[in-house]
Amino acid sequence: MAQVYNWQLGREMAYPYAESRPKRQFAAVFNINRCIGCQTCTMACKSTWTFAKGQEDMWWNNVETKPFGGYPQHWDVKLLQQLGPQPGWDARQANGQAPYGGYRGKTIFEAAPPGQAALGYLPEDKEWRFPNIYEDTTNAPVTDTRGNWAAADLPAHRVWFFYLARICNHCTYPACLAACPRKAIYKRPEDGIVLVDQQRCRGYRKCVEACPYKKTLFRHNTRVAEKCVACYPRVEEGMIPRCVAACVGKIRLMGWVDDAKSPVHYLVRQAKVALPLYPQFGLEPNVYYIPPRWVPRPYLQQMFGPGVDAAIQAYTKPSHELLGILQLFGTTQSIIASYTITAAEAVGYDAQGKELVRVPFKDPLYVRSKARLNIT
Ligand code: SF4
Ligand code: SF4
């Protein structure tokens, strides 16, 4: 295996291929605090890409209710159990290249059994049933020995759940690509989007086994693998993916994580308010989450890593720049390549510098004239 640098782990790690970063990396931020679990994103994706025969299990975008929901069922718990307890990050090693410090545990590549690219498992067919199982189901309330509810430690709640919207993470180090014996999966050098070449795929399902997020899906009627394509025909035209465009809660922002002008870069690398999903797996995933502030911290830390406390603090008391960028979510169908934040407005621009959208911090207030009031 080659040695590659993973900034989320703050160290080099083993990976089957040499480091080769794309010209720019497709990324998205999902603000969990705003998701209402309406599944509009799920249906926008399905009606665009997977509506034909054999579509029943093809949920390239899904929204699951944590702590119990998952598609396939218990995908994360199963892999965490396989990986076993791992030491976390050493915060003393934190610096610009290693914002969370140095990860001391094993990734799924380093814990792979001999002859395998990554530690993983192939879900049984029954685990792909019920994409929204346990929807709106809370955790079991925590009680003391007398059955009294434990005191809430606000902002965390005693009884909680949250919606985790998921697509392919278009990982910097994809396990699906690493495991494919046909080299049918590739990462585009121009935008980092990860795709399956369906002509080359023979349906061995090695990608399904290796992807820890279980975001490659085997289609039973075509006998080949499919996955989220990041709506690349739209992205090539400067437009955001359908799931981002259709999001009712305006929780999603797509951009380029490695471009300092992008608002996504600001959220991930500067404000550090948006965090990767299970960074300890070692794939450097490129969908980032603003964690839900009402969920107990240990649960969030095992899911989003050591940046949780700082992220929630930044979100709860946002800087003017962060507040401005949060206004830009869900405001345009085009990719916001750069932005400016003034005292009164957040402004988004496309890749050519043309203004796309202008959002005021305060909505204008109109007072109706007395003549138009319907009460006296
Ligand atoms: S999330 Fe899974 S399917 Fe998507 S790039 Fe990463 S390893 Fe591949
Ligand atoms: S459309 Fe947006 S708000 Fe609705 S479930 Fe999807 S991510 Fe959540």
Query: Do residues 273 and 321 touch, judged by C-beta distance below 8 A?
Result: no
Kindly write down the DSSP assignment for every residue of 141-184, as one continuous string: PPB-TTSPBPPP-TTS-SS--EEEEE-----SS-HHHHH-TT--
**What is the phi/psi pair of residue 222, to 5°?**
-95, -15
Q: Which whole number is the average pLDDT over 41-60?
A: 94
Q: 283, 286, 288, 289: which to mutate for ligand 1, most atoms within 8 A of CB?
A: 283
Percent of the chain with pLDDT over 90: 89
The tens digit of pLDDT for each residue in 235-245 reads: 999 999 999 99
**What is the phi/psi pair of residue 73, to 5°?**
-60, 130
For residue 257, pLDDT over 90 is answered with yes
The tens digit of pLDDT for each residue in 179-231 reads: 999 999 999 999 999 999 999 999 999 999 999 999 999 999 999 999 999 99
Report residue 376's pLDDT band, with 50, 70 and 90 as the boundaries.
Answer: low
Q: Which whole number is the average pLDDT over 333-355?
A: 98
Ligand 1 midpoint to CA 138 (Å): 28
Q: Is the pTM of this model over 0.85?
A: yes
For residue 34, pLDDT over 70 is answered with yes
Retrieve residue 203's tokens.
Answer: 């349906």
For residue 297, pLDDT over 90 is answered with yes
Q: Report how far apart, in Å, the C-alpha atoms of 192 and of each of 33, 187, 205, 235, 256 are.
A: 27, 6, 22, 12, 10
For residue 344, pLDDT over 80 is answered with yes
- Mean residue pLDDT across the chain: 96
Query: Do residues 26 and 255 touch, judged by C-beta distance below 8 A?
Result: no
Kindly state if the Cβ of 206 falls inside 6 Å of ligand 1.
no
Kindly state if the Cβ of 315 falls inside 6 Å of ligand 1.
no
Ligand 2 midpoint to CA 30 (Å): 9
